[in-house]
Structure 1
Amino acid sequence: MYLGIDLGTSGLKAALMDDAGNIIDTKSAALSVNSPNPLWSEQNPLDWWSAVESVIDQLSQSHIVSQIKAIGLSGQMHGATLLDEAGSVIRPAILWNDGRCQAECLEIEGVVSDSRRLTGNIMMPGFTAPKLLWVKNNEPKHFERIHKVLLPKDYLRFRLCGTFFSDMSDASGTMWMNTRERCWDESLLAACGLTKKHMPELVEGPQVTGTLLPELARKWGMDEIPIVAGAGDNAAGAIGVGLTEPGQGMISLGTSGVYFVVADQFSSFPEKAVHSFCHALPDRWHLMSVMLSAASCLDWFAKSVVGKDVPAVLSLLENEDGPSENAPFFLPYLSGERTPHNDPNASGAFIGLTHQHSTKDMAYAVLEGVCFAMADGVDAVHASGTSANDICLIGGGTKSAYWRQMMADILNLKLSYKQGGDVGPALGAARLAQLGTCENSQVQNVCGSPPLVDTHNPNAEHHQIYQRRRNLFVSLYPAIQQAVSPLSQTSTER
């Protein structure tokens, strides 16, 4: 068996996979996010490790974990995890959806004038580099203690095998990499007061990065098995649903929302905040649009507004078919936005509410608003000249067939939903573990497409109605943000 561990934002998930690529079992442990100030988003890395111990304990109760041959890692990208020379965590990790460092983004691009050429990306507050410059500018005592800067999943690697490595796909999102050449760039590091000695060693996704520490092997009843590099969550999710060749694409509806397209050469389109990263396999890259709040919008609405769980809110729509022309609009920018707006101060809003609107109408607006914002990102990627000819759906939000069909109708694209789509990153991590440790394994054999569960063909009539509503939707962000931006900035300054 092979174990894939995916460190998400709201929880850690583990997938146990057999030699044939079948998912045997999955286990999870919940995580919480702290927001001590406006725009801040942090987690304690020690909680991540507790979650690892929890899922392995859960698996060991029903499986012979000594049969696990290797472990692969996946995780939320961009998080700044700072360790001192003793390997202790210096401060809470600053997460991917943290928006405090807009000024530092401008500072780095001012110092490294060709940063967009090197990285393929516009500098954004969500990326790792401006976070470290923020720490340098605002917490100098913490900055002076830094021995290593690790991404979230790479902190788990350190705890599992005591080594400092990162894979190309995850490291691409730091903004310290020359993405075309797949290496650290000294000028980008220097702009943040860092050098290569602060960085983990870069490897490709299937490479072995160490072996399970003897004390953990004894504790868990495992052998001292290999720990494989793995990938950032989106690249791992792509591997999990078989995206290895140019032109293959996916839409992920997780905490964030992503449109991901595989390429066999480096290209970029930073003008529209499209992300250009390395893929989890050698000689592969990907273009990606990212919205910061996707399924998390529905989770927020269900728990904080309605006071029920997500399935209960989705049940209000289960008998609906197609668009609602009289529903309110929802801007899903609950934690700022990346593609295409690149605005950490963007905020969410319900627009057009009346006494006639119900909880069901608002739930519909949330799902539709997320799809409209995803469509903005899809358009931005396509404007770069790159598009996908085969698109599948992954992420927790895609469990809803209603939401999947709404996405197909709005995008006017055929979308497929495949087995394991809700555990894609963990499955991808397990596949990379097998690929890196099983002798004579081939990408096409290990990373094939999972069985098809459902196909969603767009409804042309529905698309026309959605398109009329989307034309209104795209006019709302500039109007609303012009009004509320001063309030957001004042709140941040406090």
Structure 2
Amino acid sequence: MYLGIDLGTSGIKALLIDGKQRITASASASLNVSRPHSGWSEQNPAHWIDALETVLDVMKSTFPARLAAVRGIGLSGQMHGATLLDSSGKVLRPCILWNDTRAYKEAAALDADPRFRKITGNIVFPGFTAPKLLWVKNNEPEVFGRVARVLLPKDYLRFWLTGEYVSDMSDSAGTSWLDVEERRWSPELLAATDLDESHMPSLVEGTEISAVLKPELARRWGLREDVVVAGGGGDNAASACGMGTVSPGHAFISLGTSGVLFAANGAYMPNPASAVHTFCHALPKTWHQMGVILSATDALNWYAGIARSDPANLTAELGDRLKAPSGVTFLPYLSGERTPHNDATIRGAFVGLGRESDRAALTQAVVEGVAFAFRDCLEALAAAGTRLDRVTGVGGGSRSDYWLKAIATALDLAVDVPADGDFGGAFGAARLGLIAAEKADPWEVCTLPAIAETIEPEARLRGAFEDAYARYRALYPALRN
């Protein structure tokens, strides 16, 4: 058996797979986000440990024999979070999460230093880790002075599980401290934030063994004492391993809290001017590009709260047949935006409202607005040299056929829908645990899922969606000014 653990923003999920990659057990526990100020987003790392203990306790009580057969553990996690530890391994403050935008001034200052884009291949986004440390230095100097280690969220779980400070290439690529082409920490970029390599975890590939589970934890949950923990991956890279998106030409679109258009690459292809992320993949000698939008299903969940309805009910009201855009446009910049604007201060809007604009019209606008944000990502990927002819749809929002039809038509791409199954970060992490424990061939393990159906763009609405996208594109500069 092989255990995958995925630390998300809203919860932790663990699942077990056997040697044939069949899911045999799973458990999850929820997490909350603290937002003490506008633009802030934090979590207490102690709550991650509580949630992990909960899911492992459930697995032990329900599937003790399967848990006892685990040979390898893989980790997946939300990226970019700044988890700060002192010299004794004690957490110094709540973790500043990926969708926290308080460090936008610090990010701009680092991005103005040409070394960052040259070495990392990326814009320094406010959500990345390095500007957060600069913010702590500027605003909480007493905390900064005690920082001995900086860990990403999943790597704090690893530290608790193994006692070792280790990260993988894919997650570390989102810090703004990694030389992404050479797959190593950059001493000069660390020095730019008054840190050095002693503050960083050691690095391994996602498929390599990073450490061994602590004996006391193995005894607690009835595990073998030689269980290895793989390097794992950032949530998107781990999900790509679960989806089999590991070879050039393969891509997926993820409709989660945030949205991701992810394309695997066999070579390092940076183009920071396009605001596309160029990161190491979780597999050796591979990279990936992705466009990221900060509010995908989060936008519909936000609107559902205002409309006092359930998101699934709202999309069901739209019916099965894709409609032409109504003229109401929604910009989903509720927490700022990454691709293509790199703008932490922009905020969302409904434009074109009239007396005839009922609840369904606003729901339709939210769905289309997120689809057009993905179209922005597609254009940015093309500018970075990656062209796609189809994508695989995953994430909670992909359960809405209407939303997938809107995305297929807005992007003018076929969207493949996998057969029933779990192909997310926990499954990808379990695959990485299998590879590390058995020294298996990553490309033989990380295969593509069976496809249940393909949603094609609707040719009858292509012109209407192009016109609506042009309106959408024109609104950002108007809003920004």
TM-score, scaled to structure 1: 0.94
Aligned to 1:66: 68
Q: 2:235 aligns with which of 233, 236, 239?
A: 233
Q: CA deviation at 1:479?
A: 1.1
CA RMSD of aligned residues (A): 1.5
**Aligned-pair identity (%):** 47
Counterpart Cα distance in 2 of 1:162 and 1:316: 51
Compared CA separation, residues 301 and 140, structure 1 to 2 (3 A):
same
Aligned residues of 1:340 and 1:377 also touching (Cα < 8 A) = yes
Rounded to whole Å, the distance in 1 between the matches of 2:104 and 2:357 is 37
Residues 77-107 of structure 1, C-alpha deviation per residue, up to 9 Å, x if partnerless? Answer: 1000001111111001111111111221233
Deviations 1:450-474 (A, max 9, x none): 1212211111112222111111111
Q: What is the DSSP-based 3-state SS (H/G/I as helix, E as strand, rest coil) of the residue aligned with 2:6?
A: strand
Find the counterpart in structure 2 of residue 491 from structure 1. none
Cα distance in 1 between the residues matched to 2:419 and 2:179:
35
Residues 272 and 480 of structure 1: CA distance in aligned 2, closer, same or farther (over 3 Å): same
Structure 2 counterpart of 1:291, from 290, 293, 296: 293
Secondary structure, counterpart of 2:289 in structure 1 = strand
User: What CA distance in whole angstroms lies between the structure 1 residues aligned with 2:208 and 2:433?
Assistant: 8
2:267 partner SS: coil
Alpha-carbon displacement from aligned partner over 1:272-320 (angstroms, at most 9, x marks no partner): 2111110001110111111111111111111x21223322323222x23
Shift of 1:325: 3.2
Equivalent residue runs for 1:79-158 within 5 Å: 79-110=81-112, 112-158=113-159
Alpha-carbon contact 1:12-1:51 (below 8 Å) kept: yes
- Could you tell me how far apart the structure 2 residues matched to 1:46 and 1:328 are? 44
Which aligned pairs between 1:353-432 and structure 2 lie closer than 5 A? 353-419=353-419, 423-432=423-432
CA, structure 1 residues 149+247, in 2 after alignment: closer, same or farther (shift >3 Å)? same
What does the per-residue CA deviation read over 1:309-356, in whole Å, with 9 as the maximum and x for residues that have no partner?
A: 322323222x23112332521110110000101100111111222232
Per the alignment, do residues 76 and 216 of structure 1 end up closer, same or farther by CA in structure 2, a change over 3 Å counting?
Answer: same
Equivalent in the alignment of 1:464: 463
> Shift of the alpha carbon at 1:187?
0.6
Q: Please state whether the residue corresponding to 2:28 is helix, strand or coil.
A: strand
Distance, in Å, in 2 between the alignment partners of 1:373 and 1:125 is 19
SS in 1 for 2:114: coil
Matched residue type, 1:151? L
Contact 1:253 1:295 in 2 (8 A): yes
Instruction: Give the conservation status (yes or no) of the 8 Å contact 1:396–1:422.
Output: no
- Helix, strand or coil at the partner of 2:220: helix
CA distance in 2 between counterparts of 1:398 and 1:37 reads 31
Structure 1 window deviating more from structure 2 (415-424 vs 372-381): it is 415-424
Unaligned runs of 5+ residues in structure 1 are 483-494
AA of the residue aligned to 2:416: S
> Structure 1 residues 7 and 143 mapped into 2: Cα distance closer, same or farther (>3 Å)?
same
Q: Which residue of 2 aligns with 1:267?
A: 269
* Cα gap change, 1:233 to 1:62, in 2 (>3 Å): same
Rounded Cα–Cα distance in structure 2 between residues aligned with 1:33 and 1:315: 28
Single out whichever of 50-59 and 319-328 deviates more from structure 2. 319-328
1:219 deviates by 1.6
Query: Which residue is 2:209 aligned to?
Result: 208
Q: Which one-letter code corresponds to 2:387 in the other structure?
A: S
- The 5-angstrom pairing of residues 324-339 of structure 1 reads 324-326=324-326, 328-339=328-339
What SS class does the counterpart of residue 61 from structure 1 fall into? Answer: helix
Give, in angstroms, the shift of residue 404 of structure 1: 1.4
CA distance in 1, matches of 2:388, 2:432: 23
Cα distance in structure 2, aligned partners of 1:68 and 1:315: 42
Matched, 1:42 2:42: yes
| Alignment partner of 1:277 is 2:279 | yes
C-alpha spacing 1:402/1:421, structure 2 compared with 1 (3 Å): farther
Task: Provide the rounded CA distance (Å) in 1 between the counterparts of 2:194 and 2:435.
Answer: 37
Give the count of matched residue pairs.
478
Per-residue deviation, residues 361-412 of structure 1 (Å, max 9, x unmatched): 2111111100001100110111111123452112121122221122111111
Q: Is the 8 A contact 2:232 2:238 kept in 1?
A: yes
The CA deviation at 1:420 is 6.1
What is the aligned partner in structure 2 of residue 174 from structure 1? 175
The letter of the residue matching 1:467 is E
| Secondary structure of 1:350 counterpart | strand
TM-superposed deviation, 1:181: 0.4
Read off the aligned partner of 1:454 and give its amino acid letter: E
1:455 matched to which residue of 2?
454
Corresponding residue of 2:474: 475
Specify whether residues 12 and 327 from structure 1 end up closer, same or farther in structure 2 by C-alpha distance, changes over 3 A only: farther
CA contact (8 A) 1:237 1:394 kept: no
CA contact (8 A) 1:261 1:387 kept: no
| Aligned AA (1:69) | R
Paired with 2:148 and 2:41, the residues of 1 have a C-alpha distance of 23
Which residue is 1:305 aligned to? 306
Distance 1:326 1:405, change over 3 A: closer
> Residues of 1 paired with 2:389 and 2:285: CA distance?
20
- AA aligned to 2:294 is L
The TM-score with structure 2 as length reference comes to 0.96
Distance 1:256 1:422, change over 3 A: farther
Taking the aligned partners of 1:294 and 1:40, their CA distance within structure 2 comes to 18
Distance 1:19 1:360 in 2: 47
For the Cα contact (< 8 Å) 2:115–2:189, is it kept in 1? no
Give the Cα–Cα distance (whole angstroms) in 1 for the partners of residues 431 and 414 of structure 2. Answer: 26
Map of 1:18 onto structure 2 = 18
Shift of 1:137: 1.0
Q: Secondary structure at the match of 1:114?
A: helix
Q: What CA deviation, in whole Å up to 9, does each residue of 1:141-166 have, x standing for no partner? A: 00011111000000000011111111
Following superposition of structure 1 onto structure 2, how do residues 23-34 of structure 1 map, counting pairs within 5 Å? 23-34=23-34
Partner of 2:424, secondary structure, is helix
In structure 2, do the counterparts of structure 1 residues 134 and 452 end up closer, same or farther at CA, with 3 Å as the change threshold?
same
State the alpha-carbon separation in 2 of the partners of residues 138 and 290 from structure 1: 28
